[in-house]
Structure 1
Amino acid sequence: MTDPHTLTLELGPIAHGGHTVARHEGRVIFVRHGIPGEQVRVRLTDSDENAKFWRADVTEVLAPSEHRVQHFWNPADALAHLDPVGGAEFGHISLEHQRELKAQVFAEQLTRLGGLNPQEHSFPGVQFAPGAANGLGWRTRMSYSVDADGHLAMSAFRSNKLTAIEQMPLAHPAIEATGLYAVDYTGIERVEAAVSSKDDATVLILLAEARPGAAKRVARQFPQGVNVAAFSQSGGSAADGRGALQALSGRSWLSEEVLGEEFRITGEGFWQVHRAAATTLSERVLELTQPGDGEQIADLYAGAGLFSLPLARAVGSAGRVFSIEGAPGTHADAKKNLRSVSQATVIRGRVERVLRQVARDAALDAVVLDPPRAGIDKSVAAELAASGVSRICYVSCDPASFARDVSRLTSRGYELAHVEIHDLYPHTHHMESVGLFVRR
């Protein structure tokens, strides 16, 4: 008897989100863990008859792609597990082909959502990320769930089922060396791990308690030299202003160094995930923005001041950089990081409101923005256009939101003069892009 939840499919093109597109009896199916051109057997994971499309996972490869390789991490291997954990969904694809697929996704998004004509625009390939040639050991920030037995665990895509893990090959080696997988996390709801990209590779473990007092017991299981801190039970964090962060062992912040500048990052305060990303992106932002002596520049979604600090140095004492961030914890980090730079003004508030005020009081020469994955909204695009700023450097971690914002900015008088893609998330479908918009 045929299993109605199992199909044999020919996999079509890559789609944003880590899927390939297949069709069955006229219905679109988004398939994970495959490669375009393969013939595979899949298990349907979402097959509601009224749904616009279905979802599926590859369970067997009948005709493999020449680009298929052995997955480097067993818990994420769909051919070995019914519920492969997320976080390494491209691990079965050669690194070179991963980048080719990402470039295809980026071009498709800029064409379909950005409204750019491929005959008029040459879309870029993907630049290799600095670091290990095998694409492992790059993550300086990790987030884990805790299963019912107190073990670190992760879940599959769109699933709440937890799988206990004993390693994560994408994690920075210093995180793996703490012994965090052998710790009993009973009473802990969530565990975050962060490591400094500096040579000392200082590690900070963040614990979100499910039971009062559990964090102190857990902290004692870590070796000396590992910093451990806990969030209160309010469910929030120091980074978003909800819940206090208490140091249990060592300190509750990390020190980073980028282009010779020191940065302090507290708790879950935002920082680039790839160990080389902060330096790579800072260099590209400076190169594309070309900050001049005496210029006035707004840095939107500025975080801890990663771009604000080098921009402030570049504009000199006669210039001004407005570092604008909404999250209170991250804003506090920016104030510390920029306190000795007189030409930097650190402002907390909603980006569109602060930008409107800044643009009214200062003639902005350039804007740098690094928004969350959702990108900017219509109000921010409108304020950028109203400011009359001549150049905008846009750092994005999502090709779909970037493409949508390309459309918003080009419709308001800007032209995408340059764009480049960086593979700062090897073995995943994610990518980072940096674009330069100039006023027409």
Structure 2
Amino acid sequence: MSGHGHRLGRPEQAVGASVEASAPVVELDIGSVAHGGTCVARHDGRVVFVRHALPGERVRARLTDTSHDRYWRADAIEVLAASADRVPAPCPHAGPGRCGGCDWQHASLAAQRRFKAEVVREQLRRLAGLDWPVEVEALDLPSGSPFDGLGWRTRMRYALTDQGQVALRGHRSHEIVEAADCRIAHPLVRAAVTGRTFPTTSADPSAAVAAAAGATGEGKIEGEIEIEVAASVSSGSTLVTPVTLHTTERGSVGVRPVDDEIVEVVRGRRFRLAPGVFWQVHPGAPEALVDAVLAGLAPRTGERALDLYAGAGLFTAALADAVGPQGLVVAMESDPQAVASAARSLADLPQVSLRGVRVSPGSLRGLAGTGADIVVLDPPRAGAGAGVMRELLALRPRAVAYVACDPAPLGRDLAVAVTAGYSLVGLRAFDLFPMTAHVECVALLQRPD
């Protein structure tokens, strides 16, 4: 698509509560895609990270953050020369000054995957010195319905307006946007919140939880109330969980009921999840990631496996089935609710040893005597870190599958592995988060013979 003067959203309002409508507007030539859902431009010799733009475009952009010496941030509010990859945003809440949840609604799905592949390649090259070809794979929805990048997100965390309507937040902002019809939310999630309002008053946090569950409460909490919505495509069920945030001298406190659960089914196994326990948000993700991990590790009967940051036990179960009763799977996870969920779901697997410990430098020393043949690690966004990587690789596993939701920490951790003598022998990238800048990678490391 080409053209001139395409206005994006509401140019008079920039993202962020601190940005004034009178903030400077500049014309920019947009360069390459950057990590985090922006593109790179330059203004008077300074790097500017621009949202809502595409490589090769010329735009008018409102400066949204000029507080940094080395770089600024901006929102493209008008496209003067458009990229052929530009498409109309399918969501009415996307655009400058609106919801901050999606980064690439204005780009075709093919372009989004190309951008993500470029980011992964650059992070691996820059941080790990690895020149690796990357292609981002698309996933279809399990329902078999035509997939247009929408309707996939089965877990949402909503803010609430003063009137109790569900809302999302602006980019890098606490401003909220009413968004019951968020277009990336799964239809089950949208059905759970459409036309509903939720209590926003209570005398205390526990009463607010009860109120959101159907009882009543009085008095206003100082702070905000949010809700989490989880939907299981396999069972067709939905769980709406209030999360009460209130301000104390020690900061924000969350209160979440734990007497309910949602069930996910993967490879015939039922995973019973308490509210708030991590689970992949794309319904096709668990199967795809398990397949990638098992194909890479090729577990053997009787092997010793280690599952770090095990969560509710998705990879633990797959590894246990693969190594059999003669093998052993040690699963380490710090979230007590996740450990409890895994214990309920994997109770029939005696070869599984669940350990409620935080994965950190020092936590793997107890395994030095037994070692590990294969390892899966699926750390939080910050990555495993150099200390954990060195301790893990000191166990001398023959293969490691690293599941990463951010290519930058992945690159840093792979650099540690390369220094330790391990080789990257495979990498798959999955578009589990269409319309956003996020991408999931499964990297396979092998020990030198």
The TM-score range, normalised by the shorter chain, is 0.7 to 0.9
CA distance in 2, matches of 1:47, 1:179: 37
In 2, are the aligned partners of 1:292 and 1:315 still within 8 Å (CA)?
yes
CA distance in 2, matches of 1:56, 1:23: 11
In 1, are the aligned partners of 2:101 and 2:169 still within 8 Å (CA)?
no
CA distance in 1, matches of 2:103, 2:240: 25
% same residue = 40
Show the counterpart of 2:186.
Answer: 172
CA distance in 1, matches of 2:92, 2:159: 18
CA distance in 1, matches of 2:74, 2:263: 42
Q: CA deviation at 1:333?
A: 0.9
CA distance in 1, matches of 2:40, 2:372: 44
In 2, are the aligned partners of 1:324 and 1:354 still within 8 Å (CA)?
no
Show the counterpart of 2:49.
Answer: 30
2:27 counterpart letter in structure 1: T
Is residue 156 of structure 1 aligned with residue 170 of structure 2?
Answer: yes
Structure-to-structure mapping, 1:253-292, within 5 angstroms: 253-292=261-300
Question: After alignment, is 300-309 or 131-140 more displaced?
Answer: 131-140
Deviations 1:351-397 (A, max 9, x none): 24442212x23231111110001001121011112111121001111
Show the counterpart of 2:213.
Answer: none
Q: CA deviation at 1:166?
A: 3.2
2:359 counterpart letter in structure 1: V
Show the counterpart of 2:134.
Answer: 124
Show the counterpart of 2:337.
Answer: 329
Show the counterpart of 2:19.
Answer: none
Q: CA deviation at 1:85?
A: 0.8
Q: CA deviation at 1:147?
A: 2.1
Q: CA deviation at 1:39?
A: 0.5
Is residue 420 of structure 1 aligned with residue 421 of structure 2?
Answer: no
Q: Displaced runs of 4+ in structure 1, greater than 6 A? A: none
Show the counterpart of 1:142.
Answer: 156
In 1, are the aligned partners of 2:23 and 2:62 still within 8 Å (CA)?
no
TM (normalized to structure 2)? 0.85
Show the counterpart of 1:357.
Answer: 366
2:226 counterpart letter in structure 1: R
Show the counterpart of 1:43.
Answer: 62
Structure-to-structure mapping, 1:367-378, within 5 angstroms: 367-378=375-386
CA distance in 1, matches of 2:343, 2:157: 26
2:237 counterpart letter in structure 1: T
Three-state SS of the structure 2 residue aligned to 1:268 is coil
CA distance in 2, matches of 1:87, 1:193: 16
In 1, are the aligned partners of 2:93 and 2:182 still within 8 Å (CA)?
no
In 2, are the aligned partners of 1:385 and 1:413 still within 8 Å (CA)?
no
CA distance in 2, matches of 1:144, 1:379: 35
Show the counterpart of 1:297.
Answer: 305
CA distance in 2, matches of 1:354, 1:338: 23
Q: CA deviation at 1:413?
A: 1.4
CA distance in 2, matches of 1:259, 1:143: 27
2:225 to 189, 210, 213: 189
CA distance in 1, matches of 2:75, 2:195: 28
Question: After alignment, is 171-180 or 13-22 more displaced?
Answer: 171-180
Deviations 1:178-216 (A, max 9, x none): 244531442261111000131x320000112368xxxxx
Show the counterpart of 1:206.
Answer: 241
In 2, are the aligned partners of 1:208 and 1:235 still within 8 Å (CA)?
no
Show the counterpart of 1:96.
Answer: 110
Structure-to-structure mapping, 1:227-266, within 5 angstroms: 235-236=253-254, 243=255, 245=257, 247=259, 252-266=260-274
Show the counterpart of 1:438.
Answer: 446
Deviations 1:291-319 (A, max 9, x none): 10000000000001000011101101110
Change (3 A) 1:133 1:144: same
1:52 counterpart letter in structure 2: R
Show the counterpart of 2:210.
Answer: none
Three-state SS of the structure 1 residue aligned to 2:80 is strand
- What is the RMSD of the two structures over their aligned residues, measured on CA atoms? 1.8
Show the counterpart of 1:381.
Answer: 389
In 2, are the aligned partners of 1:76 and 1:88 still within 8 Å (CA)?
yes
Change (3 A) 1:181 1:192: farther
CA distance in 2, matches of 1:282, 1:161: 37
CA distance in 1, matches of 2:198, 2:384: 41
Change (3 A) 1:25 1:208: same
Change (3 A) 1:234 1:310: same
TM (normalized to structure 1)? 0.87
Show the counterpart of 2:353.
Answer: 345
Deviations 1:65-95 (A, max 9, x none): 01100001111123xxxx1212222111000
Change (3 A) 1:391 1:210: closer
Three-state SS of the structure 1 residue aligned to 2:317 is helix
Three-state SS of the structure 1 residue aligned to 2:157 is strand
Show the counterpart of 1:229.
Answer: none
